[in-house]
A = this chain, B = another copy of it.
Amino acid sequence: MEQPKTPEMSANSPIIAVIGGANPAPEEAAAAEAVGRALAEGGAILICGGRGGVMEAACRGAKAADGLTIGILPGAHRGEANPYVDIPIVTGIGVARNAVIARTAQAAVAVGGSYGTLSEIAFALAFGVPVVGLGTWEITRAGHPPAPITYTATPEEAAARALALARPGQ
C-alpha cells in the first residue's frame, strides 16, 4: 500500500470514479492512466473497483501524481487489489459493489467498457451522479432523449469535465 497522503488533498477533495473493464485495449489502459493522473493533479480522490485493467491503470496514474486511491473490491480478500490501491474496501458482495462505487462517487469517468462498466454507468445515472465518457457506451431509446453522458475526446478533457461536474456531497 502506498503512503496515503498527498499535498493536493484537502477538505474539499471530491471523490471521482474511474470505471472500466478488467481487460482493456492498450489505448484504453493508457487513457485510464492519464485520466487517473489528471484527476489526482486536480485534487480528487480516486475511487474504482480496485482490480486490474482500467482500474489498475487509473490507480497507477493517480499515484504518479501523489493522489489517494480507494478500491471497492468485489471479492473476499484484500490481496485482489491492484498494487496502486491505498485503501482497499473488501466488500465480498461481488459486482453488486458497482452500486457502491456509483453511490460514493461525486462524478464518474467511463473509459471503454464492459457490461460491468455499463452497470456502473446505469447506477450513476440513476443516482444523479454526472457521467463523463471516453470511448464508452452510447445508450439510447427510441422516442426518448439519450442518456445524459458527457462524451469527451481526450483523457485530459474527461478529467477536467469530471472535476467541473462533480456534485457536492449530499
Contact of B2 with A5 in the complex, beta carbons under 8 Å: no
When each residue 134-170 of chain A gets 1 if its CB lies under 8 Å from chain B and 0 otherwise, what string results? 0111111110000100000000000000000000011
CA distance A5 to B13 in the complex (A): 12
Q: Which residues of B lie under 8 Å from residue A57 when comparing CB positions?
A: none
Contact of A142 with B147 in the complex, beta carbons under 8 Å: no
Interface centre among A96, A98, A135, A136 (most CB of B within 10 A): A96
Task: Give min CB distance, A62 to chain B, whole Å.
Answer: 14
Q: Which residues of B lie under 8 Å from residue A116 when comparing CB positions?
A: 122, 126
- Please tell me the number of chain A residues within 8 Å of chain B, measured between CB atoms: 59
Q: A2-B11, A138-B140 are in contact. List 18 more A-B contacts (CB 8 A).
A: A4-B9, A4-B13, A15-B87, A88-B169, A89-B100, A89-B104, A90-B100, A91-B99, A93-B99, A95-B99, A114-B126, A115-B125, A116-B122, A118-B121, A118-B139, A122-B122, A137-B140, A138-B141
Residue numbers of A with Cβ under 8 A of B are 1-6, 9-13, 15, 45, 68, 70, 72, 76-79, 87-100, 103-104, 113-116, 118-119, 121-123, 125-127, 135-142, 147, 169-170
